[in-house]
């Protein structure tokens, strides 16, 4: 039976023919290579965080104070990392977190499709952002048989929100992920110092520009007056959501509804009471608010409060060991963000595939060496706060 960890065998055997990996297998070198290759404006938007970026750093560093305790004399020659999520049987416990500038991370402007192709090849789900250069329908088509989810930045206009959700349903997405913490942007010094906001330059807005309801709001179509269309988008972006909006959100779709940005156990309980199907614990990787707790440190309480409702998790995941620790703490699935974006920028679809295979290989080998053949045995053992 093949395992994700077998990727290292491919690399070593290629080395016998003097063939080295096109990209590094570790995050530190991957990031360094991306820093040297990516345009400054794109890099600052992808890499930057909020304020002095303490929360962004803390998200990643906090994994180091959670530790696994290995168990020996366990047969891990066969391992199973598959999960069930919203009725879907998935071969891995990871997914791609939504990133709103994938399109401009490749020279041809179609990074969204490169990521969809990578998901199709790896069978790893993608959460496609509302903010994309390619249409959500085209992204869904390029996912092939791999399930995808649609992430909604809820606009102020409810009819536009309904239009976007119904388009996602028709396109074949398997769930709607509503981001709660981005009704306005946090204080991001890297972007502010460069006066750089890609969407105000017309990037990643194709889902709006092609939407019949949005186009009806314009005096001229975007292809005739881009500036006016962008300003209309800026005025309509970002509805302030509160608990009285939850019944409306729930009514938008019969697909699984997942709320992203939940960090407090009481909020998780209230979501579940309101008919939400999944809790997505995330602090937006430190991009939206500074000075908060690391996301991984908030995971145990949210998992406990959520009961049988699945908890998705992202923020600060850089290594396979991070994935394993989040799973051990009860996350049903773990989202990857910046690492796959760096792979995308460096080598398109192949770069994303390489990053995902590397992360899964590290996670798989760690579970094998530490004596956890299944996710159930891993969760039963748990992790210790160091």
Domains of the chain: 24-188+238-385 (3.20.20.70)
Dist. CA 335–CA 349, nearest whole Å: 18
Task: Say which of 3, 110, 117, 284 is annotated catalytic.
Answer: 284
Dist. CA 119–CA 138, nearest whole Å: 14
Residue 2 clears pLDDT 90, i.e. is over it:
no
Is position 179 annotated in a ligand binding site?
A: yes
Dist. CA 224–CA 344, nearest whole Å: 31
The secondary structure of residue 260, as a DSSP letter, is E
pLDDT by residue (tens digit) across 211-229? 999 999 999 999 999 999 9
Is position 260 annotated in a ligand binding site?
A: yes
Dist. CA 90–CA 226, nearest whole Å: 41
Please choose, from the candidates 283, 353, 347, 345, the residue with its C-alpha nearest in 3D space to the C-alpha of residue 314: 283
CA distances from 40 to 112, 284, 324, 370 (A): 20, 21, 33, 41
Residue 11 clears pLDDT 90, i.e. is over it:
yes
Q: For residues 285 and 341, is the Cβ–Cβ distance under 8 A?
A: no
pTM beyond cutoff 0.95: yes
pLDDT mean across residues, the chain: 97
Is position 129 annotated in a ligand binding site?
A: yes
pLDDT tier for residue 1 given thresholds of 50, 70 and 90:
low
Q: For residues 127 and 95, is the Cβ–Cβ distance under 8 A?
A: yes
Is position 315 annotated in a ligand binding site?
A: yes
Contacts of 170 (CB under 8 A, 6+ apart): 137
pLDDT by residue (tens digit) across 289-341? 999 999 999 999 999 999 999 999 999 999 999 999 999 999 999 999 999 99
The answer to whether 284 is a known catalytic residue is yes
Is position 316 annotated in a ligand binding site?
A: yes
Interstrand relation of 83-85 and 88-90 (parallel, antiparallel or unpaired) = antiparallel
Name the one residue in this structure whose structure tokens are 């390489």. Answer: 354
The secondary structure of residue 374, as a DSSP letter, is B
Mean pLDDT within 102-110: 97
| Buried b / exposed e along 331-357 (16+ C-beta atoms within 10 A) | bbbbbbbbbbbbbbbbbbbbbbbbbbb
């Amino acid at each position: 039976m093949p395992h994700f960890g077998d990727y290292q065998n491919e690399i070593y055997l290629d080395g016998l023919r003097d063939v080295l990996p096109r990209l590094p297998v570790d995050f530190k070198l991957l990031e360094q290579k991306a820093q040297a290759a990516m345009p400054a404006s794109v890099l600052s938007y992808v890499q930057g965080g909020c304020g002095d970026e303490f929360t962004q750093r803390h998200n990643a560093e906090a994994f180091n104070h959670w530790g696994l305790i290995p168990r020996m004399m366990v047969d891990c020659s066969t391992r199973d990392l598959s999960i069930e999520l919203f009725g879907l049987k998935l071969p891995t416990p990871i997914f791609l977190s939504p990133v709103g500038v994938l399109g401009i991370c490749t020279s041809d402007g179609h990074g969204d499709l490169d990521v969809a192709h990578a998901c199709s090849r790896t069978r790893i789900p993608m959460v496609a952002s509302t903010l994309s250069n390619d249409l959500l329908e085209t992204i869904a088509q390029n996912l092939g048989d791999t399930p995808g989810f649609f992430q909604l930045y809820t606009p102020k206009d409810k009819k536009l929100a309904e239009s976007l959700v119904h388009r996602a349903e028709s396109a074949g997405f398997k769930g709607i992920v509503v981001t709660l913490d981005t009704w306005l942007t946090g204080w991001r010094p890297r972007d502010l110092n460069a006066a750089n906001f890609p969407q105000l330059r017309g990037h990643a807005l194709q889902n709006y520009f092609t939407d019949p309801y949005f186009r009806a709001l314009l005096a001229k179509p975007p292809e005739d007056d881009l500036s006016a269309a962008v300003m209309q988008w800026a005025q309509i972006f970002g509805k302030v959501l509160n608990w009285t909006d939850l019944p409306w959100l729930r009514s938008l779709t019969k697909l699984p509804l997942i709320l992203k940005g939940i960090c407090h156990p009481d909020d998780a309980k209230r979501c579940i009471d309101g008919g939400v199907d999944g809790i997505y614990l995330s602090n937006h990787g430190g991009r939206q608010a500074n000075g908060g707790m690391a996301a991984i440190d908030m995971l145990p309480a949210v998992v406990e409060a959520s009961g049988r409702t699945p908890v998705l998790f992202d923020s600060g995941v850089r290594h396979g060991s991070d994935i394993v620790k989040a799973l051990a703490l009860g996350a049903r699935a773990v989202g990857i963000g910046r690492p796959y974006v760096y792979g995308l920028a460096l080598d398109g679809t192949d770069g994303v595939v390489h990053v995902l295979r590397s992360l899964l290989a590290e996670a798989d080998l760690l579970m094998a060496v530490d004596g956890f053949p299944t996710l159930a045995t891993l969760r039963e053992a748990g992790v210790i706060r160091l």
